[in-house]
Amino acid sequence: MASLRADGRYWERKRIKGRKTPVAGYGSTPEEAQADLARKIAEILNPTPTWVPSPDATLRSFVVNVWRPAIDRMEETSVKRYTASWRKFLNEQLGPIPLQDIRRAELDMWQRDLEAKKVPAPSIRYAAAVLSNILRMAVDYELIVRNPVASMKLPKKTAKRDRRLTVDQASELLEKSKGTLLSGPVFMACILGLRRGEIAGLRWEDLDRQRGELRIRRQRRASKGNGVIEKRLKTDSSIRTLRLPKKFIDEIDTRGDLDSPWICAKEGKPWVPDNITEHWAMHRKAWGLGDWTFHDLRHGAAGLLYASGADLIEIASVLGHSKPDMSWAYTSAGEDRAAGAIDRLSEALK
């Protein structure tokens, strides 16, 4: 039976023999979800490509005629990432090769070439995952017998970047960002650990000054064909209430746009998440964080909370982590823990 998701859609899934992940169908009603699932299963079990490849069909022609149209149903951000990786790392070297001639030797040569160009290991691993997705689809269409990416020896995962801020660094960043368009977003990300979409979706109605609470319940995000939309956060764990000391509420009033319905606004209008990233890229070097992404500030907030004495449960409550084993933290007890963590951080940031 179709289940109702947190985003208001219904979904139903079924595991197909020979595939690692289940096939999922979505819809605004249970019937639509079931119909979408049935369509996807039929496409997998009985593929009927409109493009008929020649014996010497290249990887590029398969991508253009089959893979690229197929991924158009995915989230816009995912499509952008997949196609960007294809264009940057795969198209030029592997695109002209006929599908039937793509062997482990060609892939090893491709990998060595990227490594010689100093392409980071995570980018190589991601490009290999995109290629694997393409070739797995070619297997489903019976254009090749097996997926050669499965036998590749990819570079090891690199250690995660250390993104910790000291109290002095955080105070300096907050001071430097004052008076800029990013004054509010930087505070929300660096101190409260909010994501870009959550920051862009914050309204003044979410801030209760009398009770000292900030409700994180919606986000703004790109939606294919609809531009930027505002919607409820995906999971219950992401929806959270942060109890704030008066010092932090005063900071929000100072850094926010009081003439706009949205707390963090750009010329009175809500931020587009990608624009936050673009503005951050223009300032981060001058602010002493030249290789940091805006999302890294969220990790920095976790480090600040930990340094101020917060435990992992308190940090999860503040950041809205979605790990199942921490779901119990998003109760009133979890909110009290979050309040204690923020209070201690407020005292530390003199």
Residues 296-335 have pLDDT tens digits of 998 888 888 888 887 778 888 888 876 534 423 323 344 5
Do 258 and 184 fall within a single domain?
yes
Do 230 and 152 fall within a single domain?
no
When pLDDT is cut at 50, 70 and 90, the band that residue 337 belongs to is low
Q: How far is CA 176 from CA 10, 66, 134, 156, 192, in A?
A: 46, 49, 46, 38, 18
Q: What is the CATH number of the domain that holds 184?
A: 1.10.443.10
- Span 336-344, average pLDDT: 70
When pLDDT is cut at 50, 70 and 90, the band that residue 48 belongs to is low
Q: What is the pLDDT of residue 40?
A: 83
Do 151 and 172 fall within a single domain?
no
17, two tokens = 């023999």
| pLDDT exceeds cutoff 90 at 24 | no
Do 321 and 338 fall within a single domain?
yes
When pLDDT is cut at 50, 70 and 90, the band that residue 178 belongs to is very high
Q: What is the pLDDT of residue 71?
A: 83
Do 16 and 70 fall within a single domain?
no
pTM for this entry: 0.62
Separation of alpha carbons 286 and 160, rounded Å: 24
**pLDDT per position as a tens digit, 231-254:** 888 777 789 999 999 999 999 999
Q: What is the pLDDT of residue 106?
A: 94
Residue 42 domain boundaries: 1-46
Query: Following CA atoms 72, 73, 74, 79 in sequence, which dihedral angle do they give, to the nearest 10 degrees?
Result: 0
Q: Which of 133, 159, 185 is the last residue of a domain?
A: 159
Do 195 and 296 fall within a single domain?
yes
Do 332 and 205 fall within a single domain?
yes
Do 171 and 79 fall within a single domain?
no
Do 186 and 77 fall within a single domain?
no
**Total domains present in the chain:** 3
**pLDDT per position as a tens digit, 85-132:** 999 999 999 999 999 999 999 999 999 999 999 999 989 999 999 999
Q: What is the pLDDT of residue 73?
A: 67
- Span 21-31, average pLDDT: 84
